[in-house]
Structure 1
Amino acid sequence: MSSQAPNSKILYRNSRLLRMVFLQLHHQQRADLFCDVVLQAEGEAVPAHCCILSACSPFFTERLERERPPKGHKVVLEIQGLKIGTLRKLVDFLYTSEMEVSREEAQDILAAARQLQRDVFKCSDPYFHEVVPNSSFPHTPTPSVYGEHSEEQMAQRTE
């Protein structure tokens, strides 16, 4: 006879599911599958999903709420002042949470992050602070590099 109460529940958690979903969405974005927005910079286009952009950036939420196209048409957003390479890197980052940049690109990335009102681009790499020491983006050490820390300890380090 089981010692568990008859109404007890089991919690199943798959820590890889979100990563798998976002990788699939990134694959779809790269293939322009199910994309409902086109971002334009320097005359070139980057397809994306409205829900991803909106979930990650107040800038995109505001623009997408204002510029709703007729049903069945894609939203086209011209992003002024961004280089196309920078825009591509930032969009890829929203889908993968990873970005590799050169020293030359660091300033453009940080300026674009400010323009897009996105604190998700807060730098977790001291490299950015070496390149851009007056950056308004707080440095948050990553556990894999700096050891395990509680959220409270991490918050204290960024204040």
Structure 2
Amino acid sequence: MADTLAVFTVVVVGLLVGVEFAVAAFINPILDRLPGDGGLAARSDGARMLGKVMPFWYIGSVVLGATWAATAWGDAGAGLVVTATALLVLSVLMSIALLVPINSRVARWTQDSVPADWRRQLGRWDRLHYVRVGVIVSAFVLLTIALL
């Protein structure tokens, strides 16, 4: 059972990393290269869609990490799982405090309600997102090492 939990946790966190990395490295840069404000509607739609799913994914990853840490307490690698879970908690706190407020505004934007500084706001979100991706990649690496 413990091995199954560990593998499931690594898979869930790995998929989270994959989605968030794809957003940072591919999707948003592609949308940003569209002429004018061509990518704005897509980013707004993405903010709405992912804004519904990602809270469950992030919190689920924390719960899985904490459960794995509790079941592995005292075993080799438990410290790695605890550290990874702490990083996942940090990513949730970053999301709530820094990224969600921007994302919530972006999700409400329409062609008629886009603020003049929309590019600056998206740029700030992107920079914060890069940091969050680094945090969850670090958590994923630690979980993978603990699994091995």
The answer to whether the superposition gives a TM-score over 0.5 is: no
Q: Give TM-score, length-normalised by structure 2.
A: 0.32
Q: Report which structure shows greater RCO (CA 8 Å, sep ≥6).
A: 2
Higher Cα radius of gyration: 1
Q: Give TM-score, length-normalised by structure 1.
A: 0.31
